[in-house]
Structure 1
Amino acid sequence: MADILALFLDPAVWAALVTLIVMEVVLGIDNLVFVSILSNKLPLHQRQKARRLGIGLALAMRLVLLSMIAWIVGLTAPVFNLGIVGPPDSHGEPSFETMFSWRDLILFAGGLFLVWKATREIHQTVDVDPAHEGLGAKAALGFGAAIVQIILLDLVFSIDSILTAVGMTDHLPVMVVAVIVAVMVMLLAADPLADFIHHNPSVVMLALGFLLMIGMVLIAESFGAHIPKGYIYAAMGFSAGVESLNIWSRRTRARKEAALLARTRSPEA
């Protein structure tokens, strides 16, 4: 305990902790969007339970993986190599390569799952089956199936999260605190985000587009093609900002139309 207290008296440790918390929260956005979209397909009384269970499992998984850091780091060791190397990029590094580690295989499988899931959800959103319209009380997804899918993606995002933590600090207590704080932020944001997505159907398509992009990024990273996360989240932030303006515009127009309709009907009253 004395060693931990001494560790947190170091200003450099606090700087690393704040930086790591921010990184973990940003990485957790992907996980949170997926959980929100899946939970919104459940009956109303099961949604909050699914979100809390999914995020709780994400925390448990991250803490378990932190206790197995040596094994996690070992996942980056090459398992096999297909011997294909892409042309050099602007830094002289190969643009892609086919030397796969267990981490690469997990990212590849997780990316494929995200691409498949996002594509399927987009298809269901665009091509609505008339036979199932109006059946709001009927679950579009079973509770068990939703939890299984959340667990699968929790595993992929947890491994990525822990490897990010290992790359930023050598202190296990700092990693544990950062992961717990980041997951608590996810837990607080889960219900408002899910409700916002539910009440703004156009945001669902945007979120599915994010998941599709994230899936492609995971697949690219499994082949050694490094895509700076800043570009990805800047694109997501810009898209979210444009959609926020669209929502604001629609609400303003709706209020004006409602006020005009009220003034039109007032003489008749």
Structure 2
Amino acid sequence: MDTLLTLAADPAAWAALLTLVVMEVVLGIDNLIFISILSNKLPEAHRARTQRIGIMLALVMRLALLGTVAWIARLTEPVLTMFDHAFSWRDLILLAGGLFLVWKATREMHHHVSHDADEVTDAAVGVGGLTATAAIGQILLLDLVFSVDSIITAVGMTDHLPIMFIAVIAAVTAMLFAARPLSKFIERNPTIVTLALSFLLVIGMTLIAEGFGSHVPKGYIYAAMTFAGFVEGMNMLARRRKLKRGRAIATEKARADDSSLAS
């Protein structure tokens, strides 16, 4: 209790908490995109429940990993040497997660492009062989990868466990509230699915690079994602304006036809 009061009175602790919350939220975006895309492949009745379960699993996993900080710190120690490169458990986890993410994003992109005409039907009835249990299993696998990366980031930014716990809980709570709106937004805008899957593909390649010891600055990736999102936003506005103009022209034409018939 005294430790908590001391931290509460320390401006540096508040600055560390704010920075860590922002970092955890940003790192959680990748996980959230994956959960949203995967849950949208399920029947409507199962989506919200699957999202909640996936996000709560992420919270439980991250809090459990925080309880083993000393073990987490040792994950960065080399355990295997291949091709003149020493791999740690963290590297191996990132490699496995990156390969899974690349495979999953590529497979989903192929399905999205090849079955575009059936997208509405698939979304309604859950066609594609994906069950809620399978979706939760895949979410759990990615939760593990993102959780390890998230906790190692937290350990590297502060030595205070209470700050880590609060930051993780705040970030996962933000994910919980953002999951449904993001899922609905992706569902309403099919072109966003391709963009989101492209993001996941880039993130998967980044995880693989990190696993091989090549650090990729996250700022570059998120800047590229932001720019791509901005361009897609402009395209969406252009499509909506074109659709409105088309409807206005059709309405005017219908009125003109009615007038000519009346006369």
TM-score normalised per structure 2 = 0.94
Q: Give the alignment partner of residue 125 of structure 2, picking from 137, 140, 147.
A: 137
- Measured after TM superposition, the shift of residue 82 of structure 1 is 2.3
CA-based RMSD of the aligned residues comes to 1.6
Judged with a 3 Å threshold, the aligned counterparts in structure 2 of structure 1 residues 186 and 133 are, in CA distance, closer, same or farther, namely closer
Distance in 1 separating the partners of 2:133 and 2:115: 24
Q: Percent identity?
A: 59
- Measured after TM superposition, the shift of residue 152 of structure 1 is 0.2
1:65-92 superposed Cα distances (whole Å, 9 cap, x missing partner): 00011111111110021253xxxxxxxx
Conserved in 1, the CA contact under 8 Å of 2:42 and 2:125?
no
Distance in 2 separating the partners of 1:131 and 1:234: 33
For residue 107 of structure 1, what is the amino acid of its counterpart?
A: L
- Measured after TM superposition, the shift of residue 267 of structure 1 is 3.2
Q: Does residue 130 of structure 2 align to residue 168 of structure 1? A: no
- Measured after TM superposition, the shift of residue 235 of structure 1 is 0.5
1:150 corresponding residue in structure 2: 139
1:112-148 superposed Cα distances (whole Å, 9 cap, x missing partner): 0000000111111122298998454244311000000
Judged with a 3 Å threshold, the aligned counterparts in structure 2 of structure 1 residues 254 and 242 are, in CA distance, closer, same or farther, namely same
How many aligned positions are there?
256
1:128 corresponding residue in structure 2: 115
Judged with a 3 Å threshold, the aligned counterparts in structure 2 of structure 1 residues 19 and 125 are, in CA distance, closer, same or farther, namely same
Of Structure 1 and Structure 2, which has the larger fraction of its residues in helix? 2
Q: Does residue 93 of structure 2 align to residue 106 of structure 1? A: yes
2:261 corresponding residue in structure 1: none
Conserved in 1, the CA contact under 8 Å of 2:41 and 2:126?
no
1:261 corresponding residue in structure 2: 250
1:242 corresponding residue in structure 2: 231
- Measured after TM superposition, the shift of residue 268 of structure 1 is 3.5
For residue 261 of structure 1, what is the amino acid of its counterpart?
A: A
Distance in 2 separating the partners of 1:3 and 1:37: 41
Distance in 1 separating the partners of 2:126 and 2:68: 41
Distance in 2 separating the partners of 1:118 and 1:4: 43
2:193 corresponding residue in structure 1: 204
1:176-205 superposed Cα distances (whole Å, 9 cap, x missing partner): 000011111111111111111111111100
Q: Give the alignment partner of residue 215 of structure 2, picking from 203, 207, 226.
A: 226
2:167 corresponding residue in structure 1: 178
1:91 corresponding residue in structure 2: none
Distance in 2 separating the partners of 1:8 and 1:130: 56
Conserved in 1, the CA contact under 8 Å of 2:73 and 2:152?
yes
Judged with a 3 Å threshold, the aligned counterparts in structure 2 of structure 1 residues 47 and 2 are, in CA distance, closer, same or farther, namely same
2:47 corresponding residue in structure 1: 47
For residue 37 of structure 1, what is the amino acid of its counterpart?
A: I
Judged with a 3 Å threshold, the aligned counterparts in structure 2 of structure 1 residues 7 and 245 are, in CA distance, closer, same or farther, namely same
Conserved in 1, the CA contact under 8 Å of 2:121 and 2:127?
no
- Measured after TM superposition, the shift of residue 2 of structure 1 is 2.4
Judged with a 3 Å threshold, the aligned counterparts in structure 2 of structure 1 residues 14 and 197 are, in CA distance, closer, same or farther, namely same
1:215 corresponding residue in structure 2: 204
| Equivalences for residues 29-40 of structure 1 within 5 A | 29-40=29-40
Conserved in 1, the CA contact under 8 Å of 2:112 and 2:119?
no
Distance in 1 separating the partners of 2:164 and 2:71: 16
Q: Does residue 16 of structure 2 align to residue 7 of structure 1? A: no
